[in-house]
Structure 1
C-alpha cells in the first residue's frame, strides 16, 4: 500500500469525543489516516468530522431533524445505522477508505454491525464494544471477517484501561489494512461445511479433487460462527456451489443451543440460487458448552465431550424427525438446484458401533423421516455407506461433475491452480 491506510473511525462524537479523538490519534501514530464519521443524533462533536451526522442522515434518505423526531433512541439509531452502512459502503466502493474501526456500547455496536455487514470480505472491520463476545449479539449479525475487541473501561471517559484497548484497536486497523490479502477469485469457489476432522472428514478427499478440477474449496467449521460465515458469504453470492454436509447447527438452533449460526442456516445459498449438494452430517447432535450442565430435556442422553469448551448430547427419535422436516422445508424454498445425499450407514463418526453416540434405531427413524420429507425437484440420492466413507465422497463428486457437464456449475480453471 503506497499511501497511508485510510481508516473510517465511527462513533457518536457528541458523547464519546475524547475516546474517538484518542483513537484517531493512535491511528495516525500507527501510520494511518483517520476519516471521522459521526453518528451523533442530538449533539455535535467538538471536532469537524469528514462525514457529519447530516451526511449520515441523507444517506438514510432522511434528515437529522426527522431522525431525532422519529420516536425514540432505538428508532433514531436504527436510521443512523442505515445511513452509516450506506455511506461506508459507498466510500469503500469509491476507494475512499481501506478499513473501518467503530466503537460503542450496545447502541454503537448495533450500528457498527450494520456497517460491517455492508462491506465485502477483505475490508478490515474492527468493532470496539462493551458487549464484544456477548450472547446479546445474535449470530446472524456477525459478518465473515469481523474482528471485535472488548472495550474494558469504556463506559464513560478515557482512562488507562480504555487507552490500552483503543490503542490496540487503532494498531489492528492500520496493520490489517496494510497486510490484508483480499480475495482475487482466480478460481471458482466451492463452499464445504464440516465439523472438525474427527467427526466429519470427507473434506480431506474432496478438497484435492475439487482443486484438481480447477476450483477453490473453502471449508467452514460448523461450530456456530463457521456456519454463520458460510451463510454470510452465500448471501453475497460468493460461491458457485455449496457442499453443505454438516448441518448440526440447524439442530442446535431448533433445540435452543447457544452454538447456533442463526435461524437462516441452510437458507442463503438456496435464496441466492446457488447449486447445493446437501447431507445431514451430525444432525443427531445438540452442542452445548462443556462447562455448563447438560441442557434440560437431554438428561441421560448419550454424551460426548469434545474438549473443555464443546460437548454434545444426542436428540431422540422424535427430535430427529423434527430436524428432518426443518431441513426439508429449508431446501424446498431453494431457488437453485439441490441434491440431497442420505447416508444410511451413519451421519457422524461417533454414531458407529462401539462409539458413544451409537443409536441405530434413532438413526433408522431419521432416515425414514428424511426419505418421506424430501420432495422433487430436490434430488434424493441414498447410499449404503457412512458419511465418512469413500462412497460418500464419490457420490458427491459424481453429482458435482454431472452439474458441471450440464452447465449448472461453471467450469473450473485448472490452469489457475498454483
Structure 2
C-alpha cells in the first residue's frame, strides 16, 4: 500500500550549510515524513545523511568530461550546476518519488535553488525556500511560478535560536504543503479524466467587464469547463504561457494582449518577447484580441522615462502608482507586427493554423479607448487592426472585425462563442 506520508527533497550547499540542513532534515523527519538530502555545493561533501551527493548530479555522456565546479567562479558554478540539478529534480518528480521541495541558502544558494524549482517543477508542486534574500525583491527568484519564500531574519551561518525557529516553521510548512499535494495527487487522478476543458483568459482592469461576461458565456455553453483568469501584468502573461507549455491549459481566450505594447514600447509590464507563442507551438484552440493595446504602463508619474515626457505624449494617471501612456500610430503598427509574428512563430504549418482566430473590437480596445474617454483614437486603432490583417493574410488564421468595443457584452459573447466552436471541433 502506498505511504500516506510525503517525501521531501531538501536541497542545499552542504559545503557551507550542512549543519543547518541536517537540523532541518531532523525536524522534517520528526513528522514521520521522509527526506532526501541533495548536495548542490560547489565543493563535494561527504556525510552519511546526504542521499544525493554532488557526484550523482554530475552525470555526463562518456564523451563529455565531468565539470570541475571548484575551478569555477561562483557565478559559473551556479550556471553549470543548475541544468544537472534540474534534470535530477524533474526525474524525481515525474517518477513520483517526491511530493515537496525545500531549500535553504544565501544569495548563491537561493539563486541556484530557485532556478531548479522554476525549470524543473510544475506549478502546483510545493516549493519553499528559506533565504536571506526574501526581504527584498523576490521577483527574479519566483518568476511566473508559485515558489514560496521565507525570510531567515538572520544569516544562515550557524545554528542559533532564531535560525532554528525559522527552520522549524519551514519544516512544518513544507510537510503540510506536501501532505496536501499527496492527497490531491491521489484524489484528483480519476477526477482529471472526466474534467472539462481548461481555458485561460487574459485580463486587465480596463478589460474586466468584457472578460467577466466572456467567462460567464463560456461556462454557459461549455458546462464543466474550468476558466483561469490571468492578470496581464507581465508575470500573469508569463504564467499563462508557462501553463500552456505544460499542457495544463487546453484553450485560450487571449482578449488582453497589452503586455505586447509594453514589450514594444518599453513599459514596465512586459511578459517578454515570447508572449503568445506557447499556444502557437501547441496549436490549441485560441481566440485573440487586442485588449488594452492602446496603453503602455509605467509606475508613478516620476518614473516615466524622460524621452516620453519630452514629446507630446498623452498620459493618464490610473492611480498614484500607475501611469498609462497612449500608444502612437507607429507603436500600434509595431505592436500589430509583433502580435502577428508571435501568432505564427515556430508553428508547424503556417498555412493550416485554423485553431486560432483574431477578433478586433473596432469600437475600442479598452475602457479608455471609447468615445468621450482620453485614449479614444480610431486612427491609431485602425493602424493596429490593418497591420494585423496584412501580416496574417494567407496564414490560415482568420481575422474578423466587430463594430463593438471590447467591453461590450455582445462582443464578449461573440469571442466566447467563437472559442467554444473551436473547442467543439477538437
TMscore range, shorter length: 0.7 to 0.9
SS of corresponding position for 2:323: strand
After superposition, give the CA deviation of every residue in 1:272-314 in whole Å (9 maximum; x if it has no partner). 2222211011112212223752233332633344445443222
**Partner of residue 126, structure 2:** 124
Pairing 1:397–2:406 present: no
Distance 2:172 2:315 in 1: 43
**Partner of residue 388, structure 1:** 407
Matches within 5 A, 1:312-391: 312-333=324-345, 334-335=347-348, 336=353, 337-375=355-393, 376-391=395-410
Distance 1:331 1:134 in 2: 36
Distance 1:285 1:241 in 2: 26
By how many angstroms is 1:158 displaced? 4.4
TM normalised by structure 1 equals 0.85
After superposition, give the CA deviation of every residue in 1:222-250 in whole Å (9 maximum; x if it has no partner). 11221111011111122221111111112
Distance 2:106 2:294 in 1: 38
Distance 1:292 1:66 in 2: 48
**Partner of residue 178, structure 1:** 179
Pairing 1:192–2:210 present: no
**Partner of residue 313, structure 2:** 301
Distance 2:228 2:62 in 1: 38
Distance 1:64 1:17 in 2: 28
After superposition, give the CA deviation of every residue in 1:73-120 in whole Å (9 maximum; x if it has no partner). 444333321222121122222222111112334433333234222223
Q: Is the 8 A contact 2:218 2:420 kept in 1?
A: no
Matches within 5 A, 1:7-406: 7-29=8-30, 32-44=33-45, 46=47, 48-58=49-59, 66-68=67-69, 72-116=73-117, 117-132=119-134, 138=140, 142-154=143-155, 156-158=157-159, 162-163=163-164, 165-180=166-181, 181=184, 185=192, 186-196=195-205, 198-212=206-220, 213-214=222-223, 215-290=225-300, 293-299=303-309, 301-333=313-345, 334-335=347-348, 336=353, 337-375=355-393, 376-405=395-424
Question: Hey, which of these two has a bigger chunk of helix by percent?
Answer: 2
Q: 1:58 to 1:278 in 2, by over 3 A?
A: same
Distance 1:52 1:156 in 2: 21
Unaligned stretches of 5+ residues in structure 1: 410-418
Distance 2:331 2:358 in 1: 20
Greater shift in the superposed pair: 352-361 or 340-349:
352-361
Distance 1:60 1:131 in 2: 36
By how many angstroms is 1:360 displaced? 3.5
SS of corresponding position for 2:15: coil
Distance 1:289 1:26 in 2: 43
Greater shift in the superposed pair: 302-311 or 93-102:
302-311
Q: 1:356 to 1:380 in 2, by over 3 A?
A: same
By how many angstroms is 1:393 displaced? 1.8
RMSD of equivalent CA atoms:
3.1
Distance 1:308 1:30 in 2: 47
Q: Is the 8 A contact 2:44 2:55 kept in 1?
A: no
Q: 1:189 to 1:167 in 2, by over 3 A?
A: same
Please list every run of at least 4 consecutive aligned residues from structure 1 whose deviation after the TM superposition is greater than 6 angstroms: 59-64, 133-136
Unaligned stretches of 5+ residues in structure 2: none
By how many angstroms is 1:134 displaced? 6.3
By how many angstroms is 1:151 displaced? 4.4
Matches within 5 A, 1:403-414: 403-405=422-424, 407=425, 409=426
Greater shift in the superposed pair: 298-307 or 383-392:
298-307
Distance 2:65 2:40 in 1: 10
Distance 1:164 1:308 in 2: 39
